[in-house]
Structure formats: structure tokens, C-alpha cells
Amino acid sequence: MSRGDQPKYHERDVLSFERLEQIQQKKTKWEYFQAQRPLIITRNNILNPQTRIAPQMSYEQLKRRIVYLEEKNHKLEGQLDASDLRSRMWWTDVENYYKGMKKDSEEFQRKVDQRQVRFRNAMRKSQDHERAIREYEERT
């Protein structure tokens, strides 16, 4: 057999062929899934009494179940609203706290500014006073 007659497979192709064999031997996920699912209700087996699947619940049981689930849903919605309200109240408290802090710091800054102004005015006044005294002493 000459070199040209040999099939030109790469190593990865051989590996993929092995994988293909494994896949063919094993059940696929879909087949496992199909085996586990209940029989699908189609038009045929509803109409055919031999293959028809009887409903699991009576109408009354189903109705009660729906009412129960609706009440549960309503309760959970109420809890959600309450927690939302609580978190909103908490955030309002936080906001108010920070607003209060901001207000306090602004007030404090205003007082500091006032004191600086008063100090500057007092300095100016004392300097004027000293200048007036010096001028008076120079005249006499």
C-alpha cells in the first residue's frame, strides 16, 4: 500500500471517532429524559378511553388548590410590600440622619464664619484704636 492510498486522518479525527462510538453506545440525556417523563396527553389518548389518563384531581380539589395558592401569593405579596415599606422607612431614617448632620455642619460652619468676622472686626478696631493713640501722641 503506497503512502497516497492511506486515509488522511488527523489524530483529533481518530479521537472524535472514538467519541462518536461512545456516544452511540450510551443513552443520551434526551433518552433518559424521555424514559422518566409521564405519557404525553395528545388528542388521541384523550378521545380513546383505553389510553385516556384520568385526571389526578377532582374539579373541587383543583379549585381549592387554586384558592390556596392565590391566598399564599397574596400573603407573600403583602410580606414583600411590608419589607419594601420597612426598607423605605429605614432609608428615610438614614436620609434624615444625614440631612440633620449636614444641617448641623452648615450651622457650625456659619458660627465659625461669624466668629472669624467678629475676630477680624475686633482686630481692625484695636488697630484703629492703636493708630489713633499713636497719632495723638505724635501731635502732643
For every residue of the chain, DSSP letters joined together read: --GGGS----HHHHHHHHHHHHHHHSPPHHHHHHHHSPPP--HHHHHSTTTPPPPSS-HHHHHHHHHHHHHHHHHHHHHHHHHHHHHHHHHHHHHHHHHHHHHHHHHHHHHHHHHHHHHHHHHHHHHHHHHHHHHHHHH-
Task: Please answer whether residues 65 and 57 qualify as being in contact, where contact means their C-beta atoms are separated by less than 8 angstroms.
Answer: yes
Could you give the CA distance from residue 84 to residue 78 in angstroms, rounded to a whole number? 10
**pLDDT above 70 for 28:** no
**pLDDT above 70 for 89:** yes
Could you give the CA distance from residue 93 to residue 5 in angstroms, rounded to a whole number? 85
Q: Which residues contact 41 (CB under 8 A, 6 or more apart)?
A: 53
Could you give the CA distance from residue 112 to residue 118 in angstroms, rounded to a whole number? 10
Choose between 17 and 84: higher pLDDT: 84
Please, which pLDDT band fits residue 62 given cuts at 50, 70 and 90? confident
Q: What's the pLDDT tens digit per position in 94-113?
A: 999 999 999 999 999 999 99
Count of alpha carbons within 13 Å of 103, Cβ hemisphere only?
A: 6
Could you give the CA distance from residue 112 to residue 117 in angstroms, rounded to a whole number? 9
Total-model pTM: 0.34
